[in-house]
Structure 1
Amino acid sequence: MRQARFSLPAQRNLFLLASGLSTMGSFAGLTAKGWVLMSGTNNPLIVALQFAVLALPTLVVSGPAGVLTDRHGCERVLVWAQFGLLGGALVGALAMPLTSGALQAALLLLSTLLVGIASAYELTARNKYCALLVQHPGELGSYLTSFSVVFNVGKLVGPPVGGLLVALTGPSLALLLDASTYILPIVSVVWLLEPLREQEQRSQQGESASLWAAWRGCGADLRHVLRFTALFCLVGFFHPGLAPVMAADFIGPGPQDLGLFTSVLAAGSITGGVLLQRNSFRLSQRPAFLLGSSALLTSLAQLGLGIDGPRAWTLAMAFLIGWGTAVLLSGTNLITQVGASQVLRGRMAGLGQIAFLGGGGLSGLLAAGLTMRWGLGATCAVLGAIGLVIAVQELIRHSQDRLTLASD
């Protein structure tokens, strides 16, 4: 029997640390790109386009990513995806010092697009890979939700770091930091981690390995979870795409104002993520209650942003939006993983990405168009009201529903 360099708990912590540092660099880079695009164009649609090109590739590639992960193995796909993330980030890092104007904006968007494509593969493979770092199935829910906490800590630290670097040195250093942090997960997976590879179940060739087979085979409960998440994200997950516009309108026009706004969003996300992580087993058994209540909180906070209040009020609403959306997204991922059999988990991760990132990418474009027509406050109020109706209906109709967790 082989002797691992590190115990499984140590490997889990190492993988979390590498992912968290990479996330911090990613958000520093996204903050820098958002500020460059906002200051260069002053066009909400262009700013929203950055999140759209980050998120919308999931509609096209998350399905194939899930199929590839289940067919060829999560570890192999994870490494490929991490090298893709590094390459995409380098495009942005090189665009800043070497180009300017419209070409620079186009290359920054191309960089984000490449990162979005690679991220779809990385997240799909990582979800299934996590199951190979736990000894018992009961540990999986807590470990998966730990990534939400670590992700949001990176989202909390990254934007002010990016804003500070932009203010002090310009955006080039922030984008270089973004690219360099992708090296850490590559090193950890290729050389340091030794997962329980024998536990992985792969799909066979043929119709049973398709995304459609996973959709049919996952059961009515998980299909409902995916449909609800996609619908709500279409109207309630626009803040990542419009964060620079929201910060400039509600807080101030500087890069550090953007860093403050996104950090408050992240602080709310951390709070919600920690509560979910500590109650992951119990909450995963009541999917409609978990997702409906988080959607309700998000909608109420969006309605609050429609009120012309002081700066502290805006930041409080941003905190609640971060809380609600983090629980919604992490909860969807948790439910679809622990509720599906191991052989389906790569494809379920792909379907989950299509639901929340695909819906979110479209939501950002929708909100940008409404903002240009009605203004930001009215847009937040209208979309918040629609989301409120969706959330309340889910809670009334399904809040007592229970999910049977997969045994493997």
Structure 2
Amino acid sequence: MAKVALGGKLRDMFRALRSRNYKLFFVGQGISLIGTWMQQIALSWLVYRLTDSVFLLGAVTFSSQIPTFLFGPFAGVAADKFERRKVLLVTQVLSMLQASTLAVLVLTNTVEIWHILALSAVLGTINAFDIATRQAFVIELVEKREDVSNAIALNSSMFNMARLVGPTVAGLLISVVGEGICLLINAVSYIAVLASLIMMHLKPFERVKQERKAWQSLKDGFKYAFGFPPIRALIVIVGLVSLFGMPFTVLLPVFARDILQGGANTLGYLMGASGFGALGGAMFLAQRKSVVGLGKVIIYCMLLFGFALMAFSFSEIFLLSLVLMLFSGFGMIVTMASCNTLLQTIVEDDKRGRVMSLYATAFMGMAPIGSMLAGSVAEHIGVAYTLLGCGFLCTISVIPFAVNRPKLRQMVQPIYERLGIAPEIATGLQSASNLTSPPEDR
């Protein structure tokens, strides 16, 4: 009986993989993401090895992510207007060319810092359209609407499995054969995701006739997202985590080399530990059968993320640093994926691309600003105090969301009634009411 129950639980945890198109996407994207993480670690180590500059570490991250902030909203309009598979095929081919160019420059020892900055900006522009489209595309791949939240959680687990494997392998390869091979492997890995997209069997694309121009469509998307407080609150949470929390990845090469007295493999282990924690967080979300309670989960996990970063800033012990990276990875990914799941659940289908582009803008677009700020501050006060401040700002950023959570829950109740999960929501509301009511009223 125990084996049967365990088997059923595992099947339920991976239920979105029953959809053939999603299974193809999951495998192809998973292979490609391992290469992506290998490239990220290789570039971070290469830049710090060539320049010894924390500021330039931040500058490279800034150049790779600021295009998402600038072009993300327009990418959302494209995701709602054009066939999403074709958009993704174009972005993946362009990403492969970018990685190939970078690999050639590094392998021929002709790379300079301006090459890295320019090519990072090119990739950032491509990603602005890729991320928004990919987030909206997932809905088309899942056959049952109730499996959407599971698909989003599995997406996070795929992302973080790659984050666990990629940096660890990259750290070992860099110490043996250098950064160029990691970049070459990333270029080749794009073949997997291109093949998965080509093999999918999708319904014929029907272009929605839009009488409004792109600019008006963009304005409508902003008005819809920021005019509805639950969507606005979730996007703000994602933006704050990216602004204050994500810069820790920029500072990790300095911690690995100068504080923990390690090499590229140390950096790989730190990123791998963060990825392992994030993978655990994604699996935690995958086993959940309902979105009920995710608001409370966001609060606890954002606090966990902030406290883990503050503790890591003091650590000079390698094993302790690994454990703290594990907790930070768990807290960060559960916060981000929970916001993603709630957004995908409550957003209207015809505005999904635009809203998810705003999510991507908050996720990827605020991170470069935080990275530049963190790099600049670290040059003056050191990386330890900088990361301490980042963690503290993460912990206090969640306070407004925590205070307003009961009101936000009431606003989304009609949506969940329409989707058929109102009884669970009502239970959640009643529980929350019991918790917030005075003792004499209980």
TM-score calculated relative to the size of structure 2: 0.84
Cα-to-partner distance string for 1:180-220 (whole Å, 9 max, x where unaligned)? 11121112112x1112346x784724158622211222422
Aligned to 2:100: 90
Contact between 2:65 and 2:367, CA under 8 Å: does it hold in 1? Answer: yes
Aligned to 2:249: 240
1:221 aligns with 2:230: yes
- 1:56 alignment partner, SS class: helix
Pick from 134, 137, 141: which aligns with 2:145?
137
Number of residues of Structure 1 aligned to a counterpart in Structure 2: 396
SS at match of 1:306: helix
1:62: Cα distance to partner? 1.1
Code of the aligned partner of 1:311: F
Q: Which amino acid is 1:241 matched to? A: V
Q: From the CA coordinates, give the structure whose radius of gyration is larger.
A: 2
Structure 2 SS opposite 1:210: helix
Aligned to 1:167: 175
Checking the alignment, whether the CA contact within 8 Å between 2:259 and 2:316 is kept in structure 1 is no
Secondary structure, counterpart of 1:13 in structure 2: helix
> Contact 1:133 / 1:196 at 8 angstroms: preserved in 2?
no
Please state if 1:23 is matched with 2:69: no
Matched, 1:291 2:298: yes
Over the aligned positions, Cα root-mean-square deviation in angstroms equals 2.3
Give the letter for the 2:210 counterpart: Q
State how far apart, in whole Å, the 2-side matches of 1:85 and 1:321 are: 29
Alignment of 1:231 onto 2:237: no
CA distance in 1, matches of 2:316, 2:400: 29
Q: Deviation per CA, 1:208-241, whole angstroms, max 9, x where unpaired? A: 8622211222422101211232133221221222
Give the letter for the 2:88 counterpart: L
Matched with 2:66 is 56
CA contact (8 A) 1:155 1:262 kept: yes
Residue 22 of structure 1 contacts residue 182 of structure 1 at CA under 8 Å; is this kept in 2? yes
2:366 paired residue among 342, 347, 359: 359
Give the residue type in structure 2 aligned to 1:181. Answer: S
Secondary structure class of the residue paired with 1:237: coil
Q: Does 1:204 align with 2:192?
A: no
1:388-407 per-residue CA deviation (whole Å, 9 max, x = no partner) reads: 21223422332674233585
Unmatched segments (≥5 aa) in structure 1: 1-6
Q: For each residue in 1:3-53, what CA deviation from the matched residue of structure 2 results, as whole angstroms up to 9, or x when unmatched?
A: xxxx96233222101101100011111111111111111101111222222
Alignment of structure 1 residues 330-341 onto 2, 5 Å: 330-341=337-348
Q: Are 1:271 and 2:277 counterparts?
A: no
Distance in 2 separating the partners of 1:32 and 1:242: 14
Deviation above 6 Å: which 4+ runs of structure 1? none
SS for the counterpart of 2:112 is: helix
CA distance in 2 between partners of 1:249 and 1:337 (Å) = 42
Residue correspondence of structure 1 range 179-194 to structure 2 within 5 A: 179-190=187-198, 192-194=199-201
- Please list the CA deviations of residues 53-81 of structure 1 after superposition, one character each: whole Å capped at 9, or x if unmatched: 22221111211111011011212211111
Say if 1:238 and 1:360, in contact at 8 Å, map to a contact too: yes
TM-score (norm 1): 0.90
Task: Name 1:369's counterpart in structure 2.
Answer: 376
2:433 corresponding residue in structure 1: none
- CA gap 1:232/1:15 in 2 versus in 1, 3 angstroms: closer
Relative to structure 2, which stretch is displaced further, 114-123 or 347-356? 114-123
Tell me the amino acid that sits aligned with residue 132 of structure 1. Answer: E
What are the ranges of 5 or more consecutive residues in structure 2 without an aligned counterpart? Answer: 1-16, 421-442
